[in-house]
Amino acid sequence: MNTTPEFVRIFDTTLRDGEQSPGCSMTPQQKVVMARALAELGVDIIETGFPASSQSDREATAQIVRELRDPTLAVLSRCLPGDIEASARALEGAAKPRIHVFLSTSPLHREHKLRMSKEQVIESIGTHVAMARSYVDDVEFSPEDGTRTEEDFLHEAVAVAIAAGATTINVPDTLGYTTPEEIRGLFERMIANIPGAKDVIFSAHCHNDLGLAVANSLAAMEGGARQIECTINGIGERAGNAALEELAMALKVRNAFYNIDTRLDTRRLVPTSQLLQRLIGMPVQRNKAVVGENAFAHESGIHQHGMLRNRNTYEIMNPSDVGWPDTKMVLGRHSGRAALEHRLRALGYTMEDEQLDQVFAQFKALCEEQRVVEDEDLERLIDGGVSGQGY
């Protein structure tokens, strides 16, 4: 029985789908560093690479296999004997090896990419999933471009993969084309109707071309998926993959709604995100959910005032639950007197109302010259550096 375990498996593909996108490549050493961080974060499966594609992926996988015993280690293979052999070799000695076999099933890919008939696709899936199973007990099959595949053919392809020994069926929304409503129904019908579906884990792999990757992954889960494929910071082909940190926090914050959680240590989310940003030299945007610099920062006077009374007024997560030291109260043009007073108190300055009014007026004037007022600016202002008066 596959759809009832009480947690969602997190399959992290930062080192494969993430790494293969422009500007995100990593050396084998960097991949090892990242794999350690992913293991510490508590992901269930790490996809370490695509061994048949490069020496660098083979090296990285071999090193990660030597070092990590706990998360399952997966590698990608096309439906080609050489790929599957390369994958099996790269995983030699792994405590929990998984071969991830994929083949396109959509009409567009069958006709223009593979130049294969439906019958040839079905035969290839059966042969290569069985071949992967001859090397390892844990085999994942992905019908690439699954969400743009005729539904009856998708069911047929998945049924063949299950019969050949696949233990996880991952349905990729390769082009980020589906919608939450659509993918929820797709998973419900696959699990209800495909022979053998109840004996395997269903998984969703959503791309972000329409900005729906996380919403679609959550909807697939509502439809019965119990593995989600995602990447740190949502890196990946084109607009990226579903962002792990967003999925993890949606499941945690809205647990009463989803009633299922991951096994992640969410306090490792920000350090892991920052590690990846440093390794590949790709910072996330300031307003990125959960891990962006502004995710727990407040500048407007109304919000700061509310936060000072009760943090739940403008925050739905505790920053420390995701690994930030604290909320940031940014002092700038939109900030009010309450936030300035709070900051000044934290710096050791207590003032009478009149004195505070004067500092506030000078603070506002300074905000016309610079976007953010830092502690040093306040110190200078208090010491008379700005006003020339001192306090």
Q: How far apart are CA 159 and CA 193, in angstroms?
A: 10
144 binds, among Zn ion, ligand KIV, none (CB under 5 to 8 A by kind): ligand KIV
102 binds, among Zn ion, ligand KIV, none (CB under 5 to 8 A by kind): ligand KIV
3-state secondary structure of 331: strand
Q: Considering the complex, what minimum distance in angstroms separates the CB of residue 14 from ligand KIV? A: 12
Cβ-proximal residues to 215 (8 Å cutoff; 6+ apart), any chain: 180
Which residue sits closest to ligand KIV, CB atoms considered?
172
Residue with tokens 């997560």: 317
Nearer to ligand KIV, 58 or 205 (CB): 205
Integer angstrom CA distances of residue 161 from 32, 38, 194, 202? 31, 29, 11, 12
The CA angle 82-87-90, to the nearest 5 degrees, is: 125
Cβ proximity to ligand KIV: between 144 and 245 the closer is: 144
Given the complex with ligand KIV, which of 99 and 339 has the nearer CB atom?
A: 99
Binding interface with ligand KIV (CB under 6 A): 17, 102, 142, 144, 172, 174, 205, 207
Q: Which of 10, 16, 17, 143 binds Zn ion (CB under 5 A)?
A: 17
Which residues share a beta bridge with 97?
Answer: 73
**What's the CA gap between 59 and 64, in Å, rounded?**
9
The token pair at 207 is 């791309």
DSSP 3-state assignment of 173?
A: strand
CB distance 91 to 136 below 8 Å: yes
Q: Is 205 within any annotated ligand binding site?
A: yes
Query: Binding residue per annotation — 207?
Result: yes
Q: Which of Zn ion, ligand KIV, none interacts with 142 (beta carbon under 5 to 8 A by kind)? A: ligand KIV
Residue 315: which residues within 8 A CB-CB, separation 6 or more?
296, 307, 327
| Amino acid symbol at 171 | V
- Residue 105 partner contact from Zn ion, ligand KIV, none using kind-dependent CB cut-offs of 5 to 8 Å: none
Q: Is 44 annotated as a binding residue?
A: no
Q: Per the structure block, which two tokens stand in for 169?
A: 């069926």
- Smallest separation (angstroms) from Zn ion to the CB of 174: 6
In the complex, least distance from residue 103 CB atom to ligand KIV, rounded to whole angstroms: 9
Q: What angle do CA 137, 38, 318 make, to 5 degrees?
A: 130
- Residue 47 binds Zn ion (CB under 5 A): no
Q: How far is the CB of 312 from ligand KIV (least distance, A)?
A: 38
| Amino acid found at 367 | C
**Nearest to ligand KIV of 126, 172 (CB atom):** 172
Out of Zn ion, ligand KIV, none, what residue 343 binds, judged by CB under 5 to 8 A for its kind, is: none
The span of 16-24, 144-152, 220-228, 367-375 binding Zn ion (CB under 5 A) equals 16-24
CB of 41 to ligand KIV, least distance (A): 21
Instruction: Tell me how far apart the alpha carbons of residues 344 and 352 are, in angstroms, rounded to a whole number.
Output: 12
Is residue 241 marked as binding? Answer: yes
Chain residues binding Zn ion by CB under 5 A are 17
- Binding-site residues for Mn(2+), in ranges, read 17, 205, 207, 241
